[in-house]
Amino acid sequence: MSILFSLLLLIILLTAIAILKSTAGWPGEKSETVSLIGILLISLLPVILALLDILIDKGATIEYGKIKLDFSKVQQMGTTGITISANIGVRGEPVNDSSSSKILETLHQAITTNIVIVDLEDGQAWWETRLLVLLAGAERLRKPEKVVFIAKDGGRDQCFQGWGYPDELLSCLLPAHPLYKRILLMARAAANQWSLVEPPYPNVPENNYYPAPALPLAPPGILAQKHQGWMPFNTQTGLPNELFTEQLLQSELGEQIENIEGARSISIIRLNDLFRPVLKKDFIDQNWTQDQQLNFFLNNDSLFVAVTSNSVYAALVSRMTVFNELFKNLTDKKAG
């Protein structure tokens, strides 16, 4: 089939060149040979790809000289990410309005990196409400870009369970409770109201604290009016609290869900129930043979691949980075 397609492609390209030459005078005599060689190479591409597929299916190792695609050292080309504090910094207790500031340090840490690691540990370390706050912040701020889940599995800590994009994970988590989406929309609406309020004029603050401005013309009883005072602005700088939306979200989740219903912990089973459609579980283990690693890598079309060591998470690697490294090594070898 590939040979027939190549022949058909060759005929079509030659016909097109003939038409162009008779009507537009292109290609000229000097470029005609180059054009014909290019057409031949393009027409042979389906055959070359078919041969590569056969090599991969047979478990062959693609190499140049002594160079192979060795994933035993691929962790150096990937990004490990940072493990953030369990339950976004407030472990094992509901968060209320006054204690919601404890989450800010963890959220600030999360939005400074591209990858965060959520360690579910034995299934009691993280609550759904806290993961909702993390994902909502990541989706709004576009950082972190990826969330990796690890857990204690088979008696071994930090085993890779999957990874996903925050917006996709958030869309799966919101339907898990009838109040999740409503509280998120309320928090974002309230934060948008406060975004229209000017920060205090930059005079020297009284007693080293800026007085919090009031929310003008706010209808009474709404969430924005409820949280007038210290939360929307940083009292030490007088500038807006960049994580006010998420702090407000966690405060309301604590009041309306955690204090009333208790915790919904995320175990490995619950993780898969929530995120199965979007959780990416493919990985390459450093202890596989090089042929196994290469065969899996070339047969997987994910943009990123997790690397593990005996199932323990090591890094998340871009396929393009690995390909660039492979071709760079081939080029260096050829040049040498």
Contact 306, 76 (CB under 8 A): no
Q: What is the DSSP string of 73-99?
A: SGGGGSB--EEPPGGGG--SS---TTT
Within-domain flag for 291: yes
Q: Is the pLDDT of residue 262 over 50?
A: yes
Report residue 296's pLDDT band, with 50, 70 and 90 as the boundaries: confident
Residue 4, pLDDT score: 61
pLDDT higher than 50, residue 82: yes
DSSP label at residue 257: I
CATH number at residue 327: 3.10.580.10
User: Sheet harboring 156-164: ordered strands across?
Assistant: 82-83, 115-119, 146-153, 156-164, 312-318, 304-309, 283-285
Residue 277, judged by CB atoms within 10 A of its CB (0-12, 13-18, 19+), counts as exposed
Mean pLDDT of the chain: 80
Least confident of 65-69, 137-141, 259-263: 65-69
Q: 48 falls in which pLDDT band (50, 70, 90)?
A: low
Give yes or no: residues 48 and 140 share one domain.
no
Asked if residue 257 is part of any domain, the answer here is yes
Tens of pLDDT, residue by residue over 146-182, are 999 999 999 999 999 999 999 999 999 999 999 999 9
Based on the domain organization, do 209 and 117 belong to the same domain? yes
> Is 299 a residue whose pLDDT tops 60?
yes
Between 298 and 247, name the one with better pLDDT: 247
- Answer with the one of 273, 307, 322 that is the final residue of a domain: 273
Tell me if 281 sits within 8 A of 161, measured CB to CB.
yes
Q: How high is the pLDDT of residue 66? A: 45
Strand partners of residue 315: 307
Q: Which residue, 223, 248, 273, sits at the end of a domain?
A: 273
Confidence class for position 57, pLDDT limits 50, 70, 90: very low
Higher pLDDT, 285 or 293: 285
Q: With bands split at pLDDT 50, 70 and 90, how would you rate the model's confidence at 276?
A: very high
**Are 123 and 218 contained in the same domain?**
yes
Which pLDDT score is estimated for 44? 61
Could you tell me if 286 and 180 lie in one domain?
Answer: no
User: Are residue 133 and residue 112 in the same domain, yes or no?
Assistant: yes
Enclosing domain of residue 119: 82-273
Whether 255 and 167 share a structural domain = yes
Instruction: Provide the angle, in degrees to the nearest 10, between the axes of the packed helices 290-299 and 29-57.
Output: 120
**Is residue 81 a contact partner of residue 118, using CB atoms and an 8 Å limit?**
no
**Number of folded domains in the chain?**
3
pLDDT confidence tier of residue 261, bands split at 50, 70 and 90: very high
The answer to whether 317 touches 72, Cβ cutoff 8 Å, is no
Q: Are 258 and 129 in contact (CB under 8 A)?
A: yes
Contacts of 115 (CB under 8 A, 6+ apart): 79, 80, 81, 82, 144, 145, 146, 147, 148, 316
* 76, part of any domain: no
Place of tokens 């591209």: 114
Query: In the prediction, which pLDDT does 40 show?
Result: 65
Tell me which amino acid residue 153 is: D
How far does Cα 261 stand from its chain's mean position?
31
Amino acid sitting at position 192: N
Q: Same structural domain for residues 187 and 306?
A: no
**32 and 136 both lie in a single domain:** no
Is the pLDDT score of 55 beyond 50?
no
DSSP letters along 244-313, please?
A: HHHHHHHHHHIIIIIHHH---B--HHHHHHHHTTT-B--EEETTS-HHHHHHHHHH---SEEEEEETTEE
Identify the band that residue 15 occupies on the pLDDT scale cut at 50, 70 and 90. confident
Whether residues 289 and 232 fall in one domain = no
Is residue 140 over pLDDT 90? Answer: yes
Provide the pLDDT confidence category of residue 96 given band limits of 50, 70 and 90. confident
- Output the six-digit token pair for 79: 């990004």
The pLDDT, as a whole number, for residue 101 is 79
Q: Is residue 285 part of a domain?
A: yes
Give the number of residues written for the chain: 336
Q: 297 pLDDT exceeds 70?
A: yes
Residue 64, domain member (yes or no) = no
Six token digits for residue 105: 């340090």
Query: Do 101 and 9 fall within a single domain?
Result: no
Flag whether 44 is in a domain.
yes
pLDDT of 210 higher than 90: no
86 φ/ψ sector (left φ>0, alpha ψ -120 to 50, else beta): beta
- State the Cα–Cα distance between residues 266 and 322, nearest whole angstrom: 33
23-26: long-range contacts (C-beta < 8 A, 24 or more apart)?
A: none
Same-domain pairing of 115 and 30: no
pTM of the model: 0.73
User: Based on the domain organization, do 184 and 258 belong to the same domain?
Assistant: yes
Helix (H, G, I), strand (E, B) or coil at 279: coil
Indicate whether 238 belongs to any domain. yes
Query: Does 146 map to a domain?
Result: yes
pLDDT at res. 64:
41
Mean pLDDT lowest among 2-11, 178-187, 258-267:
2-11
The angle, 0 to 180 degrees and rounded to 10, between the axes of the packed helices 103-110 and 128-141 is 50
**What CA–CA distance (Å, rounded) separates 33 from 18?**
13
Structure tokens at 180: 């999740």
